Structure 1
């Protein structure tokens, strides 16, 4: 294998320690000088590691993306002006030639010295902070949905059919009725008169019959705990929205242009900006961005016949946000997106149509960020919606 880097270091990352292997030698030297050293993961020891690498004249530092453990190491080493490469662990394992007696750090260093490691995309610190906020919001919303489903389960097993008459049992009227269950209050037409909003279509007799169930003491207690958790999570989600809006002000130009794309909501635009960043310099083409996002159409050929294959895993946060945008755009009045969506729907391939529209939206996003232009429906008619097989 041809040598591409004269002085590089491979880091095997663990929770409480890191193992660093340094390889130093001319490009014509097949057997470079090798040195192994172990450091702790405290801030002081990581700075000592960085200073040691600087003293040796190391130019390139490589490490695997091991959970969240790589992040503090990256944050401390990055200011020392090394060429930082975050390797995909799966990619490293697939490279042939590894011997069982070679340590992980040495193997990473050897691959890096020969230029066989493709670095993962790591945005700058500010975008990383925005990404953490949007991902935290996503996690809170998932937890909120799970908690609401728990409330529905409690009511169903207690034979309360409240959800049959209220579109949202967690609205103002629903919350009031749920607290009546918890407090064990009598459910009659008289007690409900001043508690039911005038916009509720169900009649009082219907609501009384729907709430004619059997709620045990334990279920009341569980219902109380779930509602308290739901209220806390909703407050946390609102605070997270505020922090995201505050953080995204510096990227207002890109953010507002993303909102012009059909199907892209505030939340989707925020996720796109957090995952991709305000520039697309890390991605040479829209196709490479689509591959990274997991929206690249698969291709499999055998005996001269091409078959479709599933999309890759990709960035699940970006992929989910774009698929939601694709569904909204497909159901909108925008004929460019609507025609694609219903073409797939007529074939009973609605999910494929959503992914195809997500791919189309991502290509538009790439063009808008790359050129700095605003969304122009006339230009985007030329952007194909790739069929995802």
Structure 2
């Protein structure tokens, strides 16, 4: 007799849960079968049918609705159901793709409704209406900037066709000098002297260089292409200005709804204007909205702070911890384990715009003399720049989360503090490893390292140390500990001695010869005088420096003076060097 196993159903957590399979032309809605005789309904994608769908769900007593983020077709459905007072969650299609049996729109809706009723779906982050509007304006603005950048390339291409090297002698074709000259060319100005006089005072290229670069082959079809590209660039710049007005209005409304911050707005760390930034000051408005100044965090400027607020909102309690937040940004390591073995720890790919902006900020902060910059450089030398960028971006994201969630104040300890802390960690690890082998490490008293702060020749000494020990230790490790660059070491190693260095070598050979003839007794004054008698006139400090580097030191006799107080011969004063009194 065969025994049939009874299927065990999952507990129902949301009895009034519905699900919608989103489509381009129609939507399939599934509700619990206990609520009506026809639990499956199909509605067209027209706005009237969407309102009818919302009314039908409200009449059945539905409290929560789940849907997949299919393209952009879910956005009008989400907004209509949200206005109807329903709780709507948008789930990732990757988490609900295991539909048993053949795939169809009806089965997708039923499977999604079952998962949602059992509480197995996680809601994707969706900001409030005002923040969502701010995000839409900023994304549209960035799209306009991308289109404008494409037309800048079209202008450069048209200039190349006419053999005009304007974009090679000025840093930006769309700058003050570049736009004046391009507009003059379109206005049929061909005199290179007149065009060169349009140079801005801040332009580094001279009049002669600009005049030579503007001698080209002006063909009408290429001038027409240049005109078209310039007109399209100007058009998108006007669209960007209109977006700025809308962004300012949204920020003003959000600031009016926020309480006044307790602390005053600090002074800006940088006064330079960022390229492609909005044309108004966002710091006071963001300080009013968030209650803190996000630009005090290294790597976060006014525009990046605006992008972070527009994408993440002001309430970061949706993420329980900073680890959840960085995982949402796809900046944390992966965690794929099977059979007790780590299959992969690679960071998953993501199209999150916030992660892209944070990575750009990490590259910028890696060149600063800050704790974050030191962290980036240490990881870049050990793991490579790609992983260092991701790790530094994650640190900036954690600082942003702690500032927004808990109001933590960011104070940069500096690169020296970070390097000292890192050195302490390395020393402790070495001490533990030495103790495991039965050894004990002791610090050398008075040792400050090979490359001393403020030492003029410290970098060269570091390079010499790396060259002597490159077969023993990795260059990256020695460069990080000595605080020198690997590229600088390779350049120094391949560089031929300069004329001044060659003169130092010849002079040092003469100094060694004089020092040897004096049986190691001559110091700097006597050697300098001997060189002068030989017709070699050099500075005293140069002789002292070469002798110090070569380890040459003269021998001087001790000077004895009469000690009248002790009535004996000895050193000045009544120190321990005095001879005893006669008996």
Does 2:132 correspond to 1:128?
yes
Confirm whether residue 13 of structure 1 aligns to residue 22 of structure 2: yes
Distance 1:72 1:25 in 2: 28
2:99 and 2:107 in contact (8 A); partners too: no
Deviations 1:51-92 (A, max 9, x none): 111111112211111122111111111133323121212222
Which residue matches 2:404?
A: 369
Report deviation, 1:253: 4.1
> What is the SS of the residue equivalent to 2:316?
coil
Shift of 1:15: 2.8
Partners of 2:132 and 2:81 in 1: CA distance: 16
Residue deviations 1:304-331 (CA, integer Å, cap 9, x gap):
6657643223352111111122222222
* Distance 1:90-1:219 versus aligned 2 partners, 3 A rule: farther
Q: Does 1:229 align with 2:235?
A: no
User: In structure 2, what is the equivalent of residue 290 of structure 1?
Assistant: 326
Evaluate the alpha carbon distance shift between residue 44 and residue 303 of structure 1 in structure 2; reply closer, same or farther with a 3 A threshold. Answer: closer
1:256-271 maps to which residues of 2 (within 5 A)? 256-271=292-307
Find 1:278's aligned residue among 311, 314, 331.
Answer: 314
Asked if the contact 2:66–2:89 (Cα under 8 Å) also holds between the matched residues in 1, the reply is: yes
Give the secondary structure class of the aligned counterpart of 2:32.
strand
Are 2:66 and 1:57 aligned? no
Bigger mean CA offset, 299-308 vs 351-360: 299-308
Aligned partner of residue 293 in structure 2, secondary structure: helix
Residue 374 to residue 43, structure 1, CA distance change in 2 (3 Å) = farther
The verdict on how the C-alpha distance between 1:315 and 1:363 changes in structure 2, with shifts beyond 3 A counting, is farther
Question: Structure 1 residue 352 and structure 2 residue 356: aligned?
Answer: no
Match among 134, 146, 152 for residue 150 of structure 2? 146
Provide the aligned length of Structure 1 versus Structure 2. 375
**Residue 69 of structure 1 corresponds to which residue in structure 2?**
73
- Shift, 1:148, TM fit: 1.1
The one of 234, 250, 266 aligned to 1:247: 250
C-alpha spacing 1:56/1:352, structure 2 compared with 1 (3 Å):
same
Verify the 8 A CA contact 2:69 2:93 in the aligned structure 1: yes
SS of the residue 1:86 aligns to: strand
Any conservation in 2 of the 1:292–1:314 contact (CA below 8 Å)? no
Report the TM-score, using the length of structure 1 for normalisation.
0.87
Which residue of structure 1 lines up, in the alignment, with residue 109 of structure 2?
105
CA offset digits 1:88-133 (Å, max 9, x no partner): 122221x353543553222221221222222211111111111101
8 Å contact kept, 1:294–1:311: yes
Residues 163 and 352 from structure 1, CA distance in 2 versus in 1: closer, same or farther, beyond 3 angstroms?
same
Aligned to 1:213: 216
* 1:158 to 1:297, Cα distance in 2 relative to 1, 3 A: farther
5+ long unaligned stretches in structure 2: 1-8, 256-285, 422-583
* Compared CA separation, residues 299 and 56, structure 1 to 2 (3 A): closer
Alignment gaps of 5+ in structure 1: 27-31, 385-389
TM score, norm. by length of structure 2: 0.59
Distance 1:6 1:193, change over 3 A: closer
> For the Cα contact (< 8 Å) 1:6–1:24, is it kept in 2?
no
Tell whether the 8 Å contact from 1:7 to 1:25 is kept in structure 2 after alignment. no
What SS does the aligned partner of 2:144 have?
helix
Change (3 A) 1:70 1:358: same
- The residue number in structure 2 matching 1:163 is 167
CA distance in 1, matches of 2:384, 2:392: 13
Highest relative contact order (Cα 8 Å, sep 6+), 1 or 2? 1
2-structure distance, mates of 1:130, 1:313: 25
* Structure 1 residue 230 displacement after superposition: 1.2
